[in-house]
Amino acid sequence: MKPLSRVGAVAAARGWRHCLILAKTEGNEAASVIDSLQKAGIQTNLWEPSLSYRCPTPSLVDSVTYDAASTDIDAVVGLGHGGVLDLAKAAAAIIPLVRASAQYSPIFTRPGSGSAKPGRELTELLVNGNMRGKGNAVGANGLNGALPKWPNAPVAESFLLGSDAKPRASTLLAGSSLPLLLVPTTAAVAATSGRCLLRPEGPEALVPLAIAGPGPYGVGVGLQATEVVADATVTQGQSARGTAAAMAHAISVFVDSAAASGGTVKQQQLMDDMMTGAGSSFSALRHPEHAAVDSMEAALAAGVAASDADANARGGLSVVHTLASVLVGMRPEVPFPLACRVLLPPVLRAWAEEVTEGNEVAAVSAIALLSEAMLGPAPTEQSLQRLADFVDNSCGNAGLPPELELDPAESPESVAVLLAANAAQAPVMSQRPAPAWVNEPQRLEAVFRAAVGGNRPHVLTTCPGRGREATTGTIRADGLDKTHRKHVYNSAHNFGHHDVRNNMNPFIAQYRIPKWETTSTMYGEHYRHPEQTYTRPMKNRMPVFHINL
């Protein structure tokens, strides 16, 4: 029996009678799930979401919940990619609240139309358990008459994570959701993750639903599904590019979870749990064209790791996940896994710099252990660099470039500055304590600069033949990169770190520009080019004049 045909048996065993199905009707998966449920004697309602840029909005969640709350739906089934699964999580969490709050008229007052503050009564209900209202009786179906017409009550938006300056209105209790069954059709971390990202109208960043829990910032065990039905045959149709992006997303979750839990009492337990998923993601990223099983295992394990890290009361900020939320919020056409792919290598290299400085020892050591599980033992800094290079090379082989493609009119420097400025103000940045380097504008700007690309800067040193690619720093307008640590810069210096850009077509430069070679006279000479026509090398900074008299 195929896994999708077992959905009905799973739902029947749970005692579900009426399921809301959130799914796209493209393909045969939705029809198979509906047929399985109906054969099990379960009533179904199909709601096909229209997702803008693959991510649900609070208004879309409200629309789904208001349609479903007036029925006797007792479970939610989500089938599709990560955005559909997040929509299903949000709907399952908020439908009971809409039903229970129908009797409290102030919650349904349109903002600005009265003195009541939307969300206040709902906060009392969720956080304090105070069912105060007007004393109206609740009907047999949990409702008191007809529900007010959406969008008079913007419910979902009141549960988005706030910031210290503007605290959230209320938090969700994970145990109060409707039963939830998720069927991922891609290698989606969202299938087992308790996180739920929405795209609000205001801030240019994806914002998670706030969940009450043990953490100091109100982040708990999350909105995990009651059941997950994963079918590797469904993900076989995913392209190598899609699989590579999904595995970069999974590895970024493992890296975030390792760093966030470093030095806490739960570190060893989380590291042991992540090792199998890390091995699967490593195998899938090496051969993404034949990785349906490995990619699904890695994604499911990554979702569990994300939830475990969120439930760690002393854990830190998930850096890649947070920065990807900002990047996708500002550039909604970018899929979330692709954002994680372009951000993971520069974030790893930023963590590697902390090794040199002796900072964040617990976090970088935890990431190094994760890297060693995939690539073998190495010194801590080298382990992080190797993992960054592995992600870049493997994703590049699958056709995923190391940076986003910008519009020709856009400047990578200005885009990076804007992203860093928005990240500093994003609500997700206050979700957990952040490492010190994330709060440094130049470091954050450098990470985004590497992710949004254009021509990557290269660094020239004073040692001939030792030029290397710059992974950090901000290229100034005068061409000097003055952000390298432990270097003394002075305008009188003849050598420095310069931005050298190739003004040729990058696709044909490899064939048009031969490699340089050393000369036999090593001192005081430039390198000899294979195509030079003069008989002896040029003196260093000293022109040779040929005068015909």
**Chain position carrying tokens 């082989």:** 397
Model confidence at 348, in pLDDT bands (50, 70, 90)?
very high
Most confident of 85-89, 98-102, 491-495: 85-89
pLDDT for 361-407, tens place per residue?
Answer: 889 999 999 999 999 999 999 999 999 999 999 999 998 888 888 88
Q: pLDDT at position 429, please?
A: 83
Please tell me what DSSP assigns to residue 43. Answer: E
| Number of H-type helices and E-type strands within the chain | 15, 9
Record the tokens describing residue 243, joined without a space.
Answer: 């699989």
Tell me the mean pLDDT in the region 168-180.
73
| 187: exposed, middle or buried (Cβ count in 10 Å: 0-12, 13-18, 19+) | buried
∠ CA(460), CA(466), CA(469), 5° rounding? 55
Mean pLDDT of the chain: 75
- Residue 182's H or E segment, with its range, is strand 180-184
Is the per-residue pLDDT at 194 higher than 50?
Answer: yes
Q: pLDDT at position 174, please?
A: 63
pLDDT for 477-496, tens place per residue?
Answer: 444 455 555 555 554 554 44
Q: What is the DSSP string of 398-427?
A: TT--SSPPPPTT--HHHHHHHHHHHHHH-G
Residue 208, helix vs strand vs coil: strand
In terms of CATH, what superfamily is 237-454? Dehydroquinate synthase-like - alpha domain (1.20.1090.10)
Please tell me what DSSP assigns to residue 137. Answer: P
Find out whether 23 and 33 touch, Cβ atoms under 8 Å: yes
Q: pLDDT at position 483, please?
A: 55
Find out whether 93 and 177 touch, Cβ atoms under 8 Å: yes
Model confidence at 411, in pLDDT bands (50, 70, 90)?
confident
Q: pLDDT at position 130, please?
A: 35
Q: What is the DSSP string of 299-361?
A: HHHHHHHHHHHHH-TT----HHHHHHHHHHHH-TTS-HHHHHHHHHHHHHHHHHHHHHHT-SH
Q: Does 3.40.50.1970 match the CATH number of domain 1-230?
A: yes
Please report, rounded to a whole number, the percentage of residues in the chain having pLDDT higher than 70.
Answer: 68
Residue 389 or 530, more confident: 389
Q: pLDDT at position 328, please?
A: 92
Residue 389, helix vs strand vs coil: helix
Tell me the mean pLDDT in the region 146-173.
58
| 240: exposed, middle or buried (Cβ count in 10 Å: 0-12, 13-18, 19+) | middle
Model confidence at 156, in pLDDT bands (50, 70, 90)?
confident
Tell me the mean pLDDT in the region 244-261.
94
Q: Among 147-151, 174-178, 269-273, 293-297, where is mean pLDDT lowest?
A: 147-151
Is the per-residue pLDDT at 525 higher than 60?
Answer: no
Tell me the mean pLDDT in the region 458-470.
37
| 542: exposed, middle or buried (Cβ count in 10 Å: 0-12, 13-18, 19+) | exposed
Q: pLDDT at position 262, please?
A: 87
Using CA atoms, how far apart are residues 310 and 213, in angstroms rounded to an integer? 9
Using CA atoms, how far apart are residues 187 and 482, in angstroms rounded to an integer? 42
Q: What is the DSSP string of 237-257?
A: GS-HHHHHHHHHHHHHHHHHH
Residue 50, helix vs strand vs coil: coil
Is the per-residue pLDDT at 467 higher than 70?
Answer: no
* 517 DSSP β-pair partners: 528
∠ CA(187), CA(193), CA(199), 5° rounding? 90
Closest CA to 319 of 253, 267, 262: 253
Model confidence at 546, in pLDDT bands (50, 70, 90)?
low
Q: pLDDT at position 295, please?
A: 92
Which amino acid is residue 201, in one-letter code? E
| 265: exposed, middle or buried (Cβ count in 10 Å: 0-12, 13-18, 19+) | exposed
Q: How many CB atoms lie within 10 A of CB 134?
A: 9
Which amino acid is residue 10, in one-letter code? V
Closest CA to 82 of 225, 218, 289: 225
Q: pLDDT at position 485, please?
A: 56
Pairing state between β 207-208 and 18-23: unpaired
Find out whether 86 and 59 touch, Cβ atoms under 8 Å: no
Most confident of 150-154, 386-390, 431-435, 455-459: 386-390
The reply to whether 237-454 shares the fold of 1-230 is no
Distances (CA, A) of 402 to 20, 181, 345, 390, 407: 40, 35, 8, 12, 16
Q: pLDDT at position 79, please?
A: 93
| Cβ-based neighbours of 130, under 8 Å, separated by 6 or more | 124
Find out whether 118 and 154 touch, Cβ atoms under 8 Å: yes
Q: What is the DSSP string of 488-535?
A: ---TT-S---B-----S-TTTHHHHSPPPB--SS-SSBPPBPTT--SS
In the chain, where are the structural domains located?
A: 1-230, 237-454
Q: Determine the angle formed by the axes of helices 336-357 and 441-452, rounding to 10 degrees.
A: 140
Model confidence at 158, in pLDDT bands (50, 70, 90)?
confident
pLDDT for 39-58, tens place per residue?
Answer: 999 999 999 888 767 789 88
Q: How many CB atoms lie within 10 A of CB 361?
A: 13
Residue 161, helix vs strand vs coil: coil
